[in-house]
Structure 1
Amino acid sequence: SPCTLVERSQTVGGASHRAAGFLAGSWGDGQITEGLHRASFAMHMQLANELNVQSFRPIQALRVGMRAHWLQGKADGNETGQHGATAGQMAEVKAAQGPSWLDGDEVASTSLLDSEAAQVDPAELREAMLKSAVAHGTKLVTGEVTGIDTTTYIDDDDNSHRRVSRVRLRDGSLLAADQVCVALGPWSCAVEDWLGVPLPLEGVLSSSAVWRQGEAAGLDPAASLFCEEDTRGCHLEVHPRVNGDLYVCGCGGSRVVSASELRAGDMPAEAACV
């Protein structure tokens, strides 16, 4: 049967709209979520092929380290770090371990995190999926969901159950439904109020920036960088995109946003989009 997609402002207008679009490949292997992880990666690859998503591409994931002793030695004005490595020797180490364009003095080492990763521009994927969904009969409704109504039924064993019957919108509209998928990221904890079931989700408030310079298009090999946390509380992630944009996040401390804040719909005071 046809689906109805309800969006308050725009499709994927929350955190995912400003995400890096990094897709880990083997990173999650060996964990309890490995099967889900691998299935999700395969699904993204399939969608990219079927929907002709141009920004999807394989990419390496590298861990970037800063050797505190080396940096401290430089800060003291020494030509060598405390381990006796000269600037030339450090450059040789970096060249052997990472791409040639990763040549800043602050980089002490790189190591491979994931050789099977990929990336995609979330905005392009969003538009491609929405266009395909509408073409297959999905109805797009702009509105804010404020509740989910249920009805009670008794099964053959005389057990009582609830089933979804409709979705309530802020403007008073009611949308009939027999199945509902709540895909609001951390804001999905609103289900606690709507259905009275526990959903202990929290959010993490972080920052990101996009440089639209076009210079990242020529980086070869393409690699996403995951940097160790520095003395300022930054744990930078750097993602060059196919179109030349450079996406950076982790530019400072990341605080936890409680479920009560999320359910209230409050935007943290320090959150802003420039």
Structure 2
Amino acid sequence: MNASTEKVFVVGGGIIGTSIAYYLSKRGLSPVVIERSDIASAASGKAGGFLARDWGIGTVTQHLHQVSFDLHEDLAKELGIDSFRRLPTLSVEGGKPKGRQQKQSQASWLDGEIRQLKVLDTGTAQVTPAEITRALMDAALRNGAALRNAAVTGVRTEPKDGGGRRLTGLCLEGGEVLDAGTAVFAMGPWSSLAGDWLGVPIPMEGVKSTSIVYSGCDSARDEPFALFRLPP
């Protein structure tokens, strides 16, 4: 790929799309991110941001877990991410204590009836997803990337020597067509749309879930823990 001539389009302004744009811009390219709404407007801005370095041990994604965790920590320093913090994770079982309830030495702000409280892992961390996603985009823009607010509705292709087809354009809502020879589709669950455009099955669909954000009390901010609750 010739960094001086090749234009890469990245469709989607979530954590994956902005990460790709950031690292392409560091290699001397000028990627164009196309986002139909705002940066980090979907799952990348609403997730819990919980990171666990060793929770993939023994699986095919073990190395990915570890590299990803370390990379988040490096990016926090590189991009000035204020919300990144290492914190231990506790396992909490609610319910009436079997004996006399002792005041826990960890997470002293945790109230209610607690049957059991124990350390689950210390190699964990948390980051605000929207902050790191926007920081990646801002850094990419400083490096020469561009951001286009538009919705991609399809692609244009043409036959390729030796068989198959190659990308020639991205169709935007409203009828505009961008000349494009290289594109990355990083649209989260909407990436299945790209499968329809390209004639490639992408077995992906969105699943609704609930995320609740509470205003933290001072004691929780001063003594941060991630909690995994076991049913009583």
Which TM-score applies when normalising by structure 1?
0.67
| 2:71 pairs with 1:43 | yes
Alignment map for 1:39-188 (pairs within 5 Å): 39-66=67-94, 71=95, 85-86=98-99, 88=100, 90-91=101-102, 95=104, 98-105=106-113, 107-155=114-162, 160-188=163-191
| 2:60 pairs with 1:32 | yes
Counterpart of 1:172, as a letter, is G
Mapped to 2, the partners of 1:218 and 1:16 lie a distance apart of 23
| 2:44 pairs with 1:16 | yes
The 1:110–1:149 alpha-carbon spacing in structure 2 relative to 1, beyond 3 Å, is farther
Mapped to 1, the partners of 2:179 and 2:83 lie a distance apart of 37
Identity %: 38
The 1:133–1:188 alpha-carbon spacing in structure 2 relative to 1, beyond 3 Å, is same
Mapped to 2, the partners of 1:37 and 1:136 lie a distance apart of 28
Moved over 4 A (4+): none
- Stretches of structure 1 that go unaligned for 5 or more consecutive residues are 75-80, 231-274
Instruction: Give, in angstroms, the shift of residue 213 of structure 1.
Output: 4.9
Q: Secondary structure at the match of 1:127?
A: helix
Q: Secondary structure at the match of 1:164?
A: strand
Instruction: Give, in angstroms, the shift of residue 142 of structure 1.
Output: 0.5
Correspondence for 2:19: none
Would the aligned equivalents of 1:164 and 1:178 in 2 still touch at CA under 8 Å?
Answer: yes
Alignment map for 1:258-269 (pairs within 5 Å): none
- Stretches of structure 2 that go unaligned for 5 or more consecutive residues are 1-28
The 1:64–1:146 alpha-carbon spacing in structure 2 relative to 1, beyond 3 Å, is same
| 2:205 pairs with 1:190 | no
Counterpart of 1:138, as a letter, is A
Q: Secondary structure at the match of 2:60?
A: coil
Would the aligned equivalents of 1:27 and 1:114 in 2 still touch at CA under 8 Å?
Answer: no
Q: Which has the higher contact order (CA 8 A, sep 6+)?
A: 2
Show CA shifts across 1:170-226 (max 9, x none).
121222223222222222221221112111113221112222355355442x21112
Mapped to 2, the partners of 1:182 and 1:227 lie a distance apart of 36
Which TM-score applies when normalising by structure 2?
0.78
Mapped to 1, the partners of 2:117 and 2:220 lie a distance apart of 21
Would the aligned equivalents of 2:91 and 2:119 in 1 still touch at CA under 8 Å?
Answer: yes
Mapped to 2, the partners of 1:122 and 1:146 lie a distance apart of 27
For the pair shown, the structure with the greater C-alpha radius of gyration is 1
Counterpart of 1:165, as a letter, is T
